[in-house]
Amino acid sequence: MTTTPSASVSEELAQQGRSAQKRRAILDAATEVFLQKGYLATNMDEIAALAAVSKQTVYKNFPGKETLFVEIVSITSRAGDRVHNEMPDLADGEDVAEYLQRYAYRQLTIVLTPRVMQLRRLVIGEVGRFPELAKALFDGGPKRAMAAMAALFVRLADRGLLAIDDPAVAASQFNWLIMGEPLNRAMLLGDDAIPKPAELRRHAAAGVRVFLASYGK
């Protein structure tokens, strides 16, 4: 029986879908094992078993454990992109303080999750042996976030809403006004120390007030 072109395309798409599902299963399983056992104690056999795939399938997608871990770190660190991608620009007539408070609160709630904090701790524990892991976390997380903030502040300054000479410096200061204390608390004291939503809202509002005292118009 001759296979029609449409059937061939459908089969190819189905195969791509199955491959993507297996890759996702491997990443999910690897994340669980890495967080439970640490980097050095994790092996690819355990990951394959938890993902319900063959060890060959794991290696087909990821040449080694380090490559797999870097991919997990990169994906997790990019979670902060949601802050910028899903936050619309300030509407005409909207209060800039209220807008920045929503922005800050969104950043806090997206970053301060147990999974992200656990992964950060794991990366810090491995930074002496694998500095590239920390670089992947920094480049994909804080560095990207501050670049997006700087671009936002440029847009607001162009509209006459902020007075900013150096957007990168302003972004760094905003980032640490908002993230510094709750992030340090969560990193050092554990997941139970992650502040509750009401506390995060108060913290965001206070940080924005300090920021606008320097950069507001």
Residue-wise pLDDT for 153-163, tens only, equals 999 999 999 99
Contact 171, 104 (CB under 8 A): no
| pLDDT score, position 200 | 96
With a CB cutoff of 8 Å and minimum separation 6, the contacts of 48 are 26, 29, 54, 55, 57, 58
Residue 5 has pLDDT above 70, yes or no: no
Backbone dihedral angles phi then psi of residue 90, each to the nearest 5 degrees = -60, 130
Looking at the chain, the number of H-run helices and the number of E-run strands are 11, 0
Q: Round to whole Å and give the CA distance between 100 and 201.
A: 11
Q: Is the pTM of this model over 0.85?
A: no
In this structure, of 29-33, 112-116, 128-132, 183-187, the range with the lowest mean pLDDT score is 128-132
Rounded distance between C-alpha atoms, residue 173 and residue 180, angstroms: 10
Half-sphere exposure of 105 toward its Cβ, with a 13 Å CA cutoff?
Answer: 16
